[in-house]
Amino acid sequence: MKRSRAIALVVLLVAIAVAAFFALRSHEPEYQGKRLSQWLEEYDRIGAMEKTGPASEAIRAMGTNALPYLFAYIKHRDTPLKKKFFGLVQKQHWLKLPPYRENRYFSPVLLALKTLGPDANPLVHELLKVFENPDTFKEGGLALFSIGPASIPALEQACRNSNVLVRADAALFIAKLPRDYTGEYQGYYCAWHKPRADVETRLYIAKVVNEYDIWKLTLMLKSSNAAVRRASADALAIYYHQSNNEDPKSSVRMLVKTLNDPDQDARNSARLALKRIDAAAAEKAGVK
């Protein structure tokens, strides 16, 4: 009896999940007979950036019609009911479904936003809200970064956020982006991999921090915007040692100057960055 109730519950949850899934997909824009989600899956499977041409052509053809669906995928979070459903499914040997993967379209959506570039500008305001939410700031930041230079004013606004991680990422993305659209402007780390033999190839996207980013963040300590100066110091504190930069002299000099910044928050962030990057220089500068 207990087993029959469990089976009935699983069947009900399957029906709910399938209905919700197809309700979203049935309204998606199409190109050459394939829905947006199918082209996003193509990004997932394609295996290399030089092979993304056909999928990118499809995304450009769908244009702004794709934006509401791309945004829905970015902010998507599985409900407790869905997570419970997959937990139950994993215990059933008679029902075979693909392995659970939350927000499976996120990385392909980033490539889609990169492909659309300026055409994705209408999403910037809403993506800023996603970025400033501590539960979704990683997704929101990468999405803004993917759109390109049009996101810079929103990223500058995020430099005023009370969350240091949001501020640091906002400054890092500003450092990575030029002021104008110039082709391949996003510094992605893209990798395709198969977590298990029974799982399809997946695309993984992450930001990387290099010496050039550290140089740009150091220059941003001279910004006329106090919030950007503070956020740049925050980013240096968090990301400097990830860049493998072996010569901290320029950053140290600018951080020492920032200890006299007219903005108290910028001064405080500079103190912390200096202590993390070069403790001896911080002590010499009187930082305790």
Domains along the chain with CATH numbers: 2-207 (no CATH), 211-284 (1.25.10.10)
Structure tokens at 264: 């108290």
pLDDT of residue 228: 98
Full pLDDT tens readout for the chain, 288 residues = 455 554 455 455 555 554 444 445 558 999 999 999 999 999 999 999 899 999 999 999 999 999 999 999 998 765 555 555 555 555 555 445 555 455 689 999 999 999 999 999 999 999 999 999 998 999 999 999 999 999 999 999 999 999 999 999 999 999 999 888 766 656 788 999 887 777 788 999 988 899 999 999 999 999 999 999 999 999 999 999 988 877 789 999 999 999 999 999 999 999 999 999 999 999 999 998
Alpha-carbon gap, residue 203 to 105, rounded angstroms: 9
pTM to 2 decimal places: 0.83
User: Which of 54, 79, 51, 56 minimizes the C-alpha distance to 66?
Assistant: 56
pLDDT of residue 197: 79
Q: How far is CA 226 from CA 59, 166, 233, in A?
A: 38, 16, 11
Cα 221 to its chain centre, rounded Å, is: 24
pLDDT of residue 156: 98
pLDDT of residue 91: 58
Alpha-carbon gap, residue 271 to 248, rounded angstroms: 15
